[in-house]
Amino acid sequence: MAVSGKPDRGGPATLITVAPTGAESEKSAVPALPVTLAELVTTAKECQAAGAAVIHVHIRDAQARPTLDIGRLTETVSALRESTDLIVQLSTGGAVTDSFERRLAVLDAGPDACSLTCGTVNFGDEVFMNPWGFMTELYAKTRALGVVPEFELFDFGHIAALRRLLAELGPPAGGHVHCDLVMGVPGGMPGDAATLVQAVAALPPGATWSATGIGRATLPVLFAALAAGGHLRVGMEDTVTFARGRPVASNAELVERAAAAAALAQRPAMTPDAAREMLGVPDHR
Ligand code: KMH
Ligand code: ZN
């Protein structure tokens, strides 16, 4: 798949983020899930070759359980930087069981970028907690350390909270606002075209955005995002089913599919360098 990319904001190229692991699926149930550092690095290289420019990272411990261990996170950032050109975005969401303290400490691993969820949301049978005080503390830390945040928006109220955050605390590190609409979580906004169009209309002026659909929402959200001029996030964090009855074989095939759809839409996959320029991410390699 051709990878190109004029870096102009809102321009023709499509930023593809891969979220390869997440914190929810179990390795025993999903053997293709990358859970070791070696598996993650291999996945990252394959996904870059397929058209990804950003990697959204959750890591696992030696038993393949989600962890925010700072030593492992630091090692992961270094390994991904050495082996790929991808922008390394660490998750500050972690798992629903992670404490605010540990989630704030993620930034000490020195990533290029991080996720920052703009509000609490029901998350299936669980609750993903992001109260205002935590959001502001995390945001202030991103600004102090120069880590570029990506604002994760699971529901419409999160867009209002993002606007308040920017108004009260100022612009993010890098100076540019980039959001990710996470659609189709049970408890968040649904993953359909009408909802996507409404959400995009409510974003702060000048913001760029990607979208991801969870599970069955994957393809409707992917096509709606391309049609509406947005960017894409795909990966096994968000879906482990490629087609009805057919498990995902690798993250790379999800990126390949996204890059093929973007190319068909005449908006080919953006290079990591072009993505750095669009997002205001310094090159730490
Ligand atoms: N694992 C979810 C509870 C993020 O990475 O910032 C939260 C999540 C969002 O995945
Ligand atoms: Zn995540």
Query: Which atom of ligand 1 is found nearest the CA of 66?
Result: 1
Q: Which ligand is nearest to the CA of 23?
A: 1
Per-residue model confidence as pLDDT tens digits over 14-33: 999 999 999 999 999 999 99
Would you say the CB of residue 155 lies under 6 angstroms from ligand 1? no
Would you say the CB of residue 25 lies under 6 angstroms from ligand 1? no
Per-residue model confidence as pLDDT tens digits over 79-90: 999 999 999 999
Tell me, in angstroms, the distance from the centre of ligand 2 to residue 20's CA: 9
Q: Which ligand is nearest to the CA of 98?
A: 1
In the predicted model, is pLDDT for residue 65 greater than 50? yes
- pLDDT, residue 67, reads 98
Q: Which of 146, 118, 151 is nearest to 132 (CA)?
A: 118
Per-residue model confidence as pLDDT tens digits over 224-259: 999 999 999 999 999 999 999 999 999 999 999 999
Strands (E), the chain: 3-4, 16-18, 54-57, 59-60, 66-67, 87-90, 113-117, 121-123, 126-128, 148-153, 178-183, 208-213, 231-234, 241-243, 246-247, 269-270
In the predicted model, is pLDDT for residue 9 greater than 60? no
Alpha carbon nearest to ligand 1 atom 7, residue: 93
Query: Which atom of ligand 1 is found nearest the CA of 116?
Result: 6
Per-residue model confidence as pLDDT tens digits over 202-232: 999 999 999 999 999 999 999 999 999 999 9
Tell me, in angstroms, the distance from the centre of ligand 2 to residue 23's CA: 7
Alpha carbon nearest to ligand 1 atom 9, residue: 93
User: Ligand 1, residues 60, 73, 91, 134: which to mutate, most atoms within 8 A of Cβ?
Assistant: 91
Q: What is the mean pLDDT of residues 132-148?
A: 98
**Residue 156 C-alpha from the chain's centroid:** 18
How far apart are alpha carbons 225 and 232 in whole angstroms? 7
Which residues fall inside 5 Å of ion ligand 2, going by CB? 91, 93
> 16-279: which CATH architecture?
Alpha-Beta Barrel (3.20)
In the predicted model, is pLDDT for residue 10 greater than 70? no
Q: What is the mean pLDDT of residues 32-43?
A: 98
Tell me, in angstroms, the distance from the centre of ligand 1 to residue 2's CA: 30
Total residue length of the chain: 285
Q: Which ligand is nearest to the CA of 235?
A: 2
Query: Which atom of ligand 1 is found nearest the CA of 114?
Result: 6
Alpha carbon nearest to ligand 1 atom 4, residue: 93
In the predicted model, is pLDDT for residue 6 greater than 70? no
For residue 161, give the H/E element and its range: helix 156-169
In the predicted model, is pLDDT for residue 3 greater than 80? no
- pLDDT, residue 100, reads 98
**Whole-model pTM above 0.85?**
yes
Tell me, in angstroms, the distance from the centre of ligand 1 to residue 264's CA: 30
- pLDDT, residue 285, reads 82
Identify the sign of the CA torsion 267, 271, 272, 274: negative
- Which three-class secondary structure state does DSSP give residue 236? coil
Q: Round the average pLDDT of the chain to a whole number and report it.
A: 96
- pLDDT, residue 101, reads 98
- pLDDT, residue 2, reads 38
| Residue 132 dihedral angles phi and psi, to the nearest 5° | -55, -45
How far apart are alpha carbons 22 and 73 in whole angstroms? 14
Tell me, in angstroms, the distance from the centre of ligand 2 to residue 130's CA: 14
- pLDDT, residue 11, reads 52
- pLDDT, residue 50, reads 98
Q: What is the mean pLDDT of residues 117-121?
A: 98
What percent of the chain is predicted at pLDDT more than 70? 96
Q: Which of 17, 67, 10, 7 is nearest to 251 (CA)?
A: 17
- pLDDT, residue 4, reads 43
